[in-house]
Amino acid sequence: MQYRTLGRTGVQVSTLVLGAMNFGSNGRTTQDEATAIVDAALAAGINLIDTADRYSQGESEEMVGRAIAGRRDDIVLATKATLPMDEERNHQGSSRRWLVTALDNSLRRLGVEHVDLYQIHRWDPATSDEETLSALTDLQRAGKIRYFGSSTFPAYRIVQAQWAARENHLGRYVTEQPGYSILQRAIEAHVLPVTEQYGLGVLAWSPLASGWLSGAIREGREITTNRSTVLPERFDTTIPANRAKLDAVEQLAKVADDAGLTMIQLALGFVTAHPAVTSAIIGPRTMDHLHSQLAAADTVLSADVLDAIDSIVPPGVDLAAHEKHDTPPALLDPALRRR
């Protein structure tokens, strides 16, 4: 396992992060399976575990808490808040009112007194940066969180938050967690240059592109990944964007074969090769998934392989831009762009 410094924090983290999104009802991973996955990941050298309150509506945090009991000090523990937890309108967002409550709930579910990294899961357009950063700074001073970061923020929001922190003498985000894979490269054009400018650590989620780069999805095969049952429209190959992804996967499979790599090694090696990326988040549902992903822990892609990837999916290009989660609200809601 390789290790890198998380932004400018001085904290050393593994280049593969264990993501717990599939623990619980989301991925149907049981407690026993989750504990075995955590055990194996830690034994392999992974030292950062990432979860969120929204994952299986808190069940993931509870399962992580049980799995790490008795060895908290050896783990860099990260969780997130802001996505809706129920139908109550104020049980979401990044207001002080909700973040204070959400963090206490997460700490209780995890069975810990603090988390190392507390992340704002999505930018909340209804809440000012000053409100959110002030709350996070106070939670940090109270010892409940060590650092705080953002997740899936557009580049301009990352810049704005850094400015607001400096202008108001508040703590600042020290990490960003963007979606990034061979098939979704737009962050190379805007987000990653910004994170490098501000010295943010980058924890990339979905490096396997929801299973498209796992090796299981190929021309002529039925697509049966867990995500394909949850979001079938993202795997319908009659849709042009999905057809483009499948065509790219076929070409990438040849690149992997020629280099003596699995598709997973190619995909994870690509993400961790970018100088702005600290770690890639893996989200295994089973032990078999974990072992296939751990095989990429020390993968280093040659310049020829990286060039071959660039020729298939050019730098800065998203093959399915509509799947991104950082689109400004004004582009999604006509009322916001026409009033």
Is 329 among the domain residues?
A: no
Cβ atoms 159, 194 nearer than 8 A: yes
Establish if 130 belongs to a structural domain. Answer: yes
C-beta neighbour count of 333 within 10 angstroms: 11
- State the CATH number of the domain containing residue 157: 3.20.20.100
Active site residue 55: yes
Asked if 51 and 105 touch (Cβ cutoff 8 Å), the reply is no
Residue 252 lies in a domain: no
Residues 153 and 335: their CA atoms lie apart, in Å, by 22
Predicted pLDDT of residue 235: 85
Quick one: pLDDT at residue 322? 73
Residues pairing with 202 in the sheet: 176
pLDDT tens-digit readout, 36-92 = 999 999 999 999 999 999 999 999 999 999 999 999 999 999 999 999 999 999 999
The position carrying tokens 């993400």 is 271
Alpha-carbon gap, residue 131 to 134, rounded angstroms: 5
Collapse the DSSP code of 80 into the 3-class scheme (helix H, G, I; strand E, B; otherwise coil) and give the result.
strand
Domain count across the chain = 1
H/E stretch holding 264 reads helix 263-273
Q: Is 296 within the bounds of a domain?
A: yes
| 223 inside domain | no
Among the listed residues 6, 3, 16, the one whose alpha carbon sits nearest the alpha carbon of residue 205: 16
Residue among 55, 118, 173, 180 flagged as catalytic: 55
Residue 159 lies in a domain: yes
What is the pLDDT, as a whole number, of residue 285?
94
307 domain residue, yes or no: no
Full domain range(s) for residue 67:
3-210+272-302
Kindly state whether residue 222 falls inside one of the protein's structural domains.
Answer: no
SS3 266: helix
pLDDT tens digits, 126-158: 999 999 999 999 999 999 999 999 999 999 999
Where the chain has pLDDT below 50, the residues are none
